[in-house]
Amino acid sequence: MSKAITTLSLQKYKRDGRKIVALTAYDYSMAKILDKAGVDVILVGDSLAMVVMGERTTHSVTMEEMLHHTRAVTRGTQNALVVADLPFMSYQVDVTQAIMNAGRFIKEARAHAVKLEGATRLNLEIIERLTGMGIPVMGHLGYTPQAIHGLGGARVQGRSAQDAIKLINDARAVQDAGCFAVVLEMVPTPIAKAVSERLEIPTIGIGAGNVCDGQILVVDDLLGKFTDFLPRFVRRYANLADICEEAVRHYGEDVKTQAFPNESESFILPRAQEEEFEKMLADLDKQ
């Protein structure tokens, strides 16, 4: 019997030592597949900007675009918890802006929770206010892609002892502010372990070793559909780009040789109607 996953289910999974399975999705049909396969958390990530829209960073994706894709994902989901990523500059201005945009994800796109990056003073206030009004928030620490330029690139975070301690303190701060879970991205395994052991809320790792309470990947990376680059922490479970290319080539050949469509893929007329049509056509051509 399948059962809807809630933020409380995830916290119970951590207590029970049952790892959390999370993936991104950006559309209805993929969300349906993930949900059917038993994925616990579907994140409509702002990675959409890169893997769906072909941008080099996540910065350009807008609230309207995120809402559009989140709506599609929630329509395809029955059991998974759907988390919508607050895009760059949709929450960094002030608390009011963050509340308005987080509220839109819940109200207009039927998301169950939102995610934001970093543990600035403003973010902690946003987390407190959102959770206070019943909007669950997932944190995101370590490498935070919206800060790529400030961080000097997509780099592993928390390598020095000082940075590692800051990461632990930031993780505690987002937990205390009310986050129900936190993504740890590109963090050395021992640091991710130290954070996971010190938090009551689950950590969801991406490039943070197998010590976190769950794992998340970008679905297009896992399926080999996005092939521009392959981060070290990705494992490809399929090669969809090759499979799709092969299928499309085959279709092209069939179109050119008229092997597609065949009779069963076309609409034919009953014999009597066809004869009548041919007669009418002959009359028409005589005029």
Residues that bind ligand KIV (CB under 6 A): 24, 43, 45-47, 85, 140, 183, 206, 216, 218
Nearer to ligand KIV, 46 or 213 (CB): 46
| Token pair in block for residue 31 | 């969300």
Amino acid sitting at position 111: A
Nearer to ligand KIV, 66 or 191 (CB): 66
> In this structure, what DSSP letter does residue 232 have?
T
The alpha-carbon radius of gyration of the chain (Å, integer) is: 24
Minimum distance of ligand KIV from residue 206's CB (angstroms): 5
Rounded Cα–Cα distance for residues 260 and 254 (Å): 5
Nearer to ligand KIV, 230 or 259 (CB): 230
| Token pair in block for residue 179 | 């986050």
Minimum distance of ligand KIV from residue 123's CB (angstroms): 15
| Token pair in block for residue 23 | 């993936």
Minimum distance of ligand KIV from residue 221's CB (angstroms): 9
Which residue bears the tokens 């701060």? 173
Element (H, E) at 155: none
Nearer to ligand KIV, 76 or 142 (CB): 142
Minimum distance of ligand KIV from residue 249's CB (angstroms): 30
Region at 66 (left for phi over 0; alpha for psi -120 to 50; beta for the rest): alpha
Shortest-Cβ-distance residue relative to ligand KIV: 45
Pairing of strands 41-44, 181-185: unpaired
Collapsing DSSP to helix, strand or coil, 178 comes out as: coil
Nearer to ligand KIV, 89 or 255 (CB): 89
Q: For this structure, is 278 an active site residue?
A: no
Collapsing DSSP to helix, strand or coil, 211 comes out as: coil
Answer positive or negative: Cα dihedral of 215, 234, 105, 146: positive
**Degrees to nearest 5, angle at CA 144 with 56 and 5:** 105
Catalytic member of 117, 125, 185, 245: 185
Catalytic sites, residue numbers: 185
